Structure 1
Amino acid sequence: MRPPSVNDLALRIADVGLPHALLVIAARAAIAAGDPDSAADEAHRLRRSLLGPAINATGVLLHTNLGRAPLGLEPGDDGPVRFSNLEFDLTSGRRGSRTSHASLLLATLTGAEAALVVNNCAAAVTLVLAALARDRGVAVSRGELVEIGGGFRVPEVMEQSGARLVEVGTTNRTRAGDYRAAVERDDIALLLKVHPSNYRITGFTEEADVADLAKIGPPVVSDLGSGLLDERCPWLGARPEWLAGEPGARQTLAAGAALVTFSGDKLMGGPQAGIICGNADLVAACAAHPLMRAFRPGSLVLDALQSVALAYLRRDADAIPFWRMAKVPVDELAQRAETLGVGQSARTTALAGAGSLPGQEIPSAGIELDGDHAAALRAFDPPVIARVNEQTTVIDLRTVDPADDAVVAAAVNQALGQ
């Protein structure tokens, strides 16, 4: 018996809701496997491989695999088509700068003279080094030669920028005098401090602070990574205990750093972006460098970043999903767990995630299920992503929007065969 034509089979599975071209791919795969009846299953698998919504029940607020900071954007807006003044000066009617909109707000939030936005923090550091230290030395503590996600290492980033790495101090102890000695014996363009946002060194340790480094001479660049804008957390009214010890961009600049770099999609709670804040002349040099063309973000990123920055200026933490989730009282989460009526309510511990605040736990609550039900929960539509500890499935409600509680309950009941 001859198999059906690819096009006929694709038309039969049109109710899956994919564009016809993708249904054709599914139909071809099913026919090639000798099982045309599996075309719908192939189409469903293809649909689930596309970018789409998921419920984060892991308790990791900034889950890198789930997109880090969630954005409060409304999909499927059926309103009128809108353009934007991305590179248009509304006053003069001439071409403007795409960096001016969010940059003004970020400079205001951090107390900087100027700010610049690129597409991620690695790009921010690379641009700073290329623009300000090419063919010259950059002094870095041996204890801060970190590797970030995806295998990118500070020495390799520095090499690609054209700057020359000058290691100072030791892995566990580096003093201001180590940087000063490097400046006296070498051509040092910058002193680079890298915040250990994804690891901790404890015990017999010492590091030079920004205020001491600022007295040595060359500009101090502090890569904060995690992106806490202000240690006082005025948008919350008080600093949470789990943020103890995390440096803020505003305070780091006030201490004497010429520039700070950080991510937009970590503790800032915005879209993926890299942010450079600090002295206007140094920011201008970065903006004028040819790499800026390659690193510049698109309008969607800048628009989302502007919305987040405006929320900070309004001190409206509820408008930023990361902070809205982070500040929910544990008792409120526990009450939601009881109301779900599935599994066993339990106190849990959440994490900031995305390489931020390593080892720092955030009190939380959720439900526990005996056994490993992670795969069954992922198979639900929309998928519910949980974590498994010693054959116990943990659904942490700190990272679940209350509007999704009913979905979580339905997913659990299906996973348990109820």
Structure 2
Amino acid sequence: MPAPDRLRQIPSITSLLARGEIRSLLARYPRAVVLGAMRRLLDVYRGEALREKGSGRSREEWTSLLLSALPDAITADEGGSLRKVINATGIVVHTNLGRAPLPGDAIRAIVDVASGYSNLEFDLTGGTRSRRLAHVEEALLELTGAESVHVVNNNAAAVFLCLAALAKGRDVIVSRGELVEIGGSFRIPEILAASGANLVEVGTTNRTRQADYERAAGPSTALLLKVHRSNFHVTGFTGEVQTADLVVLGEKLGIPVMEDLGSGAVFDFGAAGIPGTPTVKQALGRGPGIVTVSGDKLLGGPQAGIIAGRKDLVEPLKTHPLSRALRLDKLCLAALAATLRLYADERRATACVPVLGMILEGEGITRARARKLIARVRREQARSAISDGASPAEHRPASGIARPEGGGLKMQVERSFSSPGGGAMPEIEIPTACVALSHVRVRVEELDAMLRSGKPPVVGRISKGRLLLDMRTVRDEELPGLAAAVVTAARSRTTGND
């Protein structure tokens, strides 16, 4: 069937409004909400119709599909656009999926502080005003080994504040190989320009030497800046100046070194067999005057920009006008304080900070979770089949891993690799176990779209014609919801086709 004819099979808004099912929904929900959900579903269906081959669905099939999906689409709209999703991508710190999931202690701290008043800037002992960052300073000083610390609302803000306070109107020397964009149009040259500092580029994209920095330095130089490259690395004919060597040069020239660690960490992943990211304490041990890190990446806490370093460099930041504009709100502060307390005991941190647990989890545990998911999906299918009137024997799982299940769904456990994410360790791959999904009659892209639009939404990754659900980033308590979502997606996409 030609594409225009396939599109004509999709029902119009007018024809749908005449149906009793739609009138019933209009009696329960605002008209604008129902119409908005209908339009969004129809837009999705038009895209699917254009991609279909062969005769495509009939008008009755499209109508049935919309009527079954519309109630969930309406309630999803009522719940708002920002919602919890199941991350089955295998990317632990997924920047598009909210970065680090918070520890339970941090969530409880947020609820406690948000549910009433708090001593945010009040000294309960003396009955006088206090500083909000007093709630996290002691823990940060202990974990980083710094002389002084400061916290703002994200790492980009931390970098911006340091440049504005320490280098406005003066030169900042950066290697061309570190003039990066790390996502969301955050580009180091633009941040430098906005802060009022002058960018001085040295070296080349692939090679920069210590002599390049030395030749560029002069009386107007305020900082030597070292930038973590985030989510890529350069190999081959390359060379860069290590932080410790840059510090030696800085001491010779009387110029402080600033290092943007990006993700950063306070847990020693290297000691756990995962190299590539120094702790903040290790980074400061190399001698830079000031470092900045994110709170919601490898630290596993809320969004925050942590600044640590020498007292003479960090203290002026606290009284800079930008500090108030960029300050941490009380909810993030409560979550950060609770997260930092967990790090007082490393064993407790690895057990309670989700990011640490997911990165460090053994492949065997991940594989066992994959098997549990398949078993749950099979049970859900059998339950659905019985409710539809089928014999349980028709859906009883047989031995083997890749046979078609009820409705044509195929599942198998497959070895793959997860990523720490967050631009933290771009070269590190962590062995993992995925549940590979495919369907005998449904394109994998359609299965993926149905899972993303489900309740709860599920985000996986497509590889070699299968949809992979990486179990490293799926929690045990999410398995029931994930299994139900898989069964619902497989059934929805075959409605009218079996």
Please tell me the TM-score bracket, short chain as reference: 0.7 to 0.9
Q: Distance in 1 between matches of 2:185 and 2:113?
A: 42
TM-aligned CA deviation for residue 252 of structure 1: 1.4
Q: In the alignment, which of 222, 231, 245 is matched to residue 276 of structure 2?
A: 245
The aligned residue for residue 4 of structure 2 is: none
Task: Rate the CA distance shift 1:347–1:177 in 2: closer, same or farther, 3 A.
Answer: same
Structure-2 residue corresponding to 1:26: 33
Write the mapping of 1:320-359 to structure 2, written as runs, cut at 5 A: 320-340=353-373, 341=375, 342=377, 343-359=411-427
Query: Is the contact between residue 261 and residue 292 of structure 2 (CA under 8 Å) also seen in structure 1?
Result: yes
Task: State the structure with more CA Rg.
Answer: 2
Residue 135 (structure 2) aligns with? 101
Alignment equivalent of 2:126, drawn from 85, 92, 101: 92
- Counterparts in 2 of 1:251-270, with a 5 A limit? 251-270=282-301
The alignment status of 1:64 with 2:95, answered yes or no, reads yes
C-alpha offsets along residues 38-91 of structure 1, whole Å, 9 cap, x if unaligned?
Answer: 985663351365222111111110111210100134589699944222111233
TM-score by length of 2: 0.74
TM-score by length of 1: 0.87
Cα 1:43–1:239 shift into 2, 3 Å: same
Match of 1:378 among 449, 452, 477: 452
| TM-superposition CA deviations, 1:366-399 (whole Å, max 9, x none) | 2111251212222331122111112201011100
2:475 aligned residue (395, 401, 404)? 401
- Identical columns (%): 45
Partner of 2:351: 318
Judged with a 3 Å threshold, the aligned counterparts in structure 2 of structure 1 residues 255 and 415 are, in CA distance, closer, same or farther, namely same
The answer (yes or no) to whether the contact 1:61–1:69 under 8 Å persists in 2 is yes
State whether residues 37 and 74 of structure 2, in contact with CA within 8 Å, keep that contact through their aligned partners in structure 1.
no
Coordinate RMSD, CA, aligned? 2.9
Gaps of 5+ in 2: 1-13, 41-66, 378-410, 493-498
Supply the AA of the counterpart residue of 2:157: A
SS at match of 1:160: helix
In structure 2, the residue matched to 1:19 is none
* Equivalent in 143, 154, 161 of residue 127 of structure 1: 161
Shift in alpha-carbon separation, 1:301–1:48, aligned structure 2, 3 A: same
Establish whether residue 222 from structure 1 lines up as the match of residue 259 from structure 2. yes
Which residue of the partner structure matches residue 199 of structure 1?
232
The DSSP-based 3-state class of the residue aligned with 2:429 is: strand
Name the residue aligned to 1:157. 191
* 1:308-341 Cα shifts (integer Å, max 9, x gaps): 1111122121111111222221111112222332
Asked if structure 2 preserves the Cα contact closer than 8 Å seen for 1:63 and 1:354, the reply is yes
Q: Distance in 1 between matches of 2:114 and 2:428?
A: 45
CA contact (8 A) 1:175 1:207 kept: yes
Structure 1 residues 87 and 25 mapped into 2: Cα distance closer, same or farther (>3 Å)? farther
1:275: which partner in 2?
Answer: 306
Judged with a 3 Å threshold, the aligned counterparts in structure 2 of structure 1 residues 123 and 77 are, in CA distance, closer, same or farther, namely: closer
**1:364-375 correspondence to structure 2 within 5 Å:** 364-371=432-439, 372=444, 373-375=447-449
Determine the structure 2 residue equivalent to 1:166.
200
1: CA distance, partners of 2:199 / 2:423: 24
Which residue identity lines up with residue 194 of structure 1 in the other structure?
A: V
Which residue type is aligned with residue 271 of structure 2? Answer: R
* C-alpha contact (below 8 Å) 1:270/1:308 kept by paired residues: yes
Distance across 1 between alignment mates of 2:329 and 2:203? 40
CA distance in 1, matches of 2:473, 2:32: 35
Q: Which amino acid aligns with 1:55?
A: I
CA distance in 2 between partners of 1:94 and 1:24 (Å): 53
Q: Which amino acid aligns with 2:487?
A: N
Q: What is the total number of aligned residue pairs between the two structures?
A: 397
SS at match of 1:165: strand
